[in-house]
Amino acid sequence: MFSSKLEGQKFLQSNIKSLSGIRGIIKKIERTGNFRATFEGNVKNGDTVILNTFVKMEISKYCYPHSEKYYQTRKEYLLSQSQNDLSSSSDDISELNEKPEKSNISGESSSSTSEENGQNAFLMMIGQHIRSNEEKAPKVNLTRLTSQLPLHKRLEKEEIFTSNKKSNLENFILKNR
């Protein structure tokens, strides 16, 4: 049944079952991959034995930093644009290359590296881009979303549980059919 003794060793003490419903357990693995098993009853010669098992597998952990990748691809995109294509991209590139002075909390100004300034300008530019796109985003119809809620949640939301519960409940159900 197994291709080798080593493969069979993983399944020692595993539960097996024949098609006729007789349960058993794997006791010993021979060198050719065959095994010895004990069953609760007599197994017929033509009976098929089924082995249902699960093998432990280690899943490799994979981490993908999205923010750094987005920063690099957006910066490469902006730098690849020519000045004739988009005037805003050339302005963005000049913002990346500028060297403004940073001010500390104490009010003292300190000069920093051009790379840090470029990153800060780029992050500010991304923030402006996101804010401008929020205004263009489609508005969501909240009444449509509330109709997708389950009935008991809609009942709580509309607060129909008053002194006249039965008639309010009937009206609500009739209204939402």
pLDDT digits (tens, 9 = 90+) for 127-170: 666 655 555 555 555 555 555 666 666 666 655 444 455 566 67
Residue 85, both tokens? 């294509």
Q: Tens digits of per-residue pLDDT, 2-47?
A: 888 888 888 888 889 998 899 999 999 988 888 899 999 998 888 8
- Mark 128-153 as b/e (b = at least 16 C-beta within 10 Å): eeeeeeeeeeeeeeeeeeeeeeeeee
pTM, two decimal places: 0.31
Q: How far is CA 99 from CA 54, 80, 110, 118, in A?
A: 60, 21, 11, 8
Q: Exposed, middle or buried, 29 (CB in 10 Å: 0-12/13-18/19+)?
A: buried
Sign of CA dihedral 170, 172, 173, 177: positive
Domain boundaries, the chain: 5-51, 66-136, 144-175
Question: Rounded distance, CA 37 to CA 16, Å?
Answer: 9
**CA–CA–CA angle 73, 77, 80 (5° rounding):** 135
**Closest by Cα among 112, 126, 117, 69 to 96:** 117
Q: Tens digits of per-residue pLDDT, 78-121?
A: 666 654 455 555 555 565 555 545 444 444 444 555 556 666 66
